[in-house]
Structure 1
Amino acid sequence: MNATVHRLDPRGKPSLEPMMSLVAHDLNLVNSVILDRMQSDIPLIPELAGHLIAGGGKRLRPMLTLASAQLLGYAGTRHHRLAAAVEFIHTATLLHDDVVDGSDLRRGKRTANLIWGNPASVLVGDFLFSRSFELMVEDGSLKVLKILSNASAVIAEGEVNQLTAVRRIDIGEERYLEIILAKTAALFAAACRIAAVVAERSEADEVALDAYGRNLGIAFQLVDDAIDYTSDSGTMGKDAGDDFREGKMTLPVILAYARGDEKARAFWKDAVTGKRSSDEDFAEAIRLVRETRSVDDTLARARHYGQRAIDAIGGFPAGAAKSAMIEAVEFAVARAY
């Protein structure tokens, strides 16, 4: 094991730039696959898919596949198509999520469902899922197919789990963690793990990369949920307070409700069930999560999972890939500061 211990410091200014530079050439090849495979004789499909795919996303999940492959010294090309498959899975879930949530903004732009309607968004999401499976099958590895298809199923389960938890004040930390493990962390984990499969590395390396991605995914979602109560739409790329208005029991709300007095708990019950959703109510929600240090503690948990991600790749040799993957974790956590 590498003896170096990395500590996440919120005062620093970590960046995704090292990872973006590391995988720039590979990512161009992945983007070529994405552009090629999102084409269709039906013009609406590339038009709608392109709106989201070209909409300013960082391509973090495919970058994790590419960086993991570099960490392992993989010199082939199979990971390009698989990274594209990962991005298609992610994009499909975003299209479906925005329909389910009724979202108006995604990455600071109007959502596809707002422009083209819900039916088109759902069907183009289905098309992208299908494209991702074509790419997996073309790779020819049953193990890769199993990892990515399982992740797709787990993501869908997580979204259904979240849907059945909406507007329920009785959702606790355990159920919340189940949801984010499925809807976010599963794809992060799979994106990293498949690199070890194509590089023909040991089961231990697969597990280590899986743990890196899974813990990074949890940290990433915890930060997202904290930012909903600390930021504006310009920073977030979605409407500030979306989670609040949708009645989602994210960790800041779970903690604030548990720590609140009788009056605060009554407010949260009304808010979660949809009886209080005005801008003034959202301002009160922000005051309560700050007063109970619920955002601070959510971010502390994010740092904990971020450290677990860093520790998971401690046994791999030092180098540009490892450094970039460590800084990517630090970046994910530091977004809230």
Structure 2
Amino acid sequence: MKIVLFLIGLSTWGSQSMAMDTSIESQIELGQRSLTLVRHCAGRFELELPKDMTLLEAGYGQPEFSIDMYAEGDKTEGGLYRGEQRLEQWLSYIDKKRQKDSEFSPTEYVIQELKPHLKTVSFHADIRGLMDDDNAPYSFTTYFFQDFPEQQMGLSIQGLAIGHIPRNVENVQETFNSRVTWMKEAISETVIHQPWPHNQFGICMPNGILINNSSPVQTQQGYFQENYAFEFFNGKKSIFRLLVVVYSDETALKQEISQVSGLLSFIASSKTKVAGRNGRLFINDGKYSDTEREFKWVSTDSKVNSVRFAHIEIEGKIEIDDYPELKPLNATDMVVALINGVRVRENGMEGVKR
């Protein structure tokens, strides 16, 4: 899953955009200038961004499953499917995955349940030859398709709770079935369609997708696991990204904060609160334009195994020439205004005790 890796070069995106739900517009006042903003939901938060900024990619992950969503028209398969042929398109995508695995190991479907609204497809790859090990584990790849007939759309979801099962497990089929059931229950009980804007609990995603859990998900070891990321682009030069990660390991969290601080140590920064969280805002001149500013805000009060104090990074760049109506203001003013527009959405933290 690409939840912490999807912030890729924008050259592959062009000017495509993801269709968004009806959102609330507002005006931002900067001195005597104003700009129309649109309110977007982003996980447990909401953002106010320029009207021309559209969401390119979003990702979410928890112990049972992960979701990736892409721009309308993007060639990447998976994510959201629309229209009468959505199921057939999704099945074709899954079979391409299986065929690719078949280049390295024999594969076979073990589940193809297509009748309920939540479809399930799983295939097994015999990796013993690939690993040159007769005791190599059973390897399963499992996908779900949450269908929303009234909206003529369906969502591809990757199951994460199976993966490999040791070959010495006494009852492989029972173990496999129980994990599939676990994932199906988690998805069917929480992944719903709820058009934005709303004040529902849980993780808000684009296109009216909501992971509507009353409390954050924990692993069997008692760790919270809730990661999500969003990237917006205006089709020109301005970008806005949000990344939220719940770390279960203190060393990993310290390394992330240390790495970011080290990379940005040569850039002037200021203490800035965002959505009630303490952090530092770094702003630097653009590499190729005097009117561009690159920015990164990093939470400095992040805590291990905490959803309320998850690690947050907000970054991107603003080219003020993209917004001539704001001149003679500079991009720094706009960056500060957009950062201040990030807030916890209504009921976004309901059910979060830690």
**TM-score normalised per structure 1:** 0.30
**Structure holding more helix per residue:** 1
**Structure holding more strand per residue:** 2
Larger radius of gyration: 2
Bigger RCO of structures 1 and 2 (CA < 8 A, at least 6 apart): 1
**TM-score normalised per structure 2:** 0.28
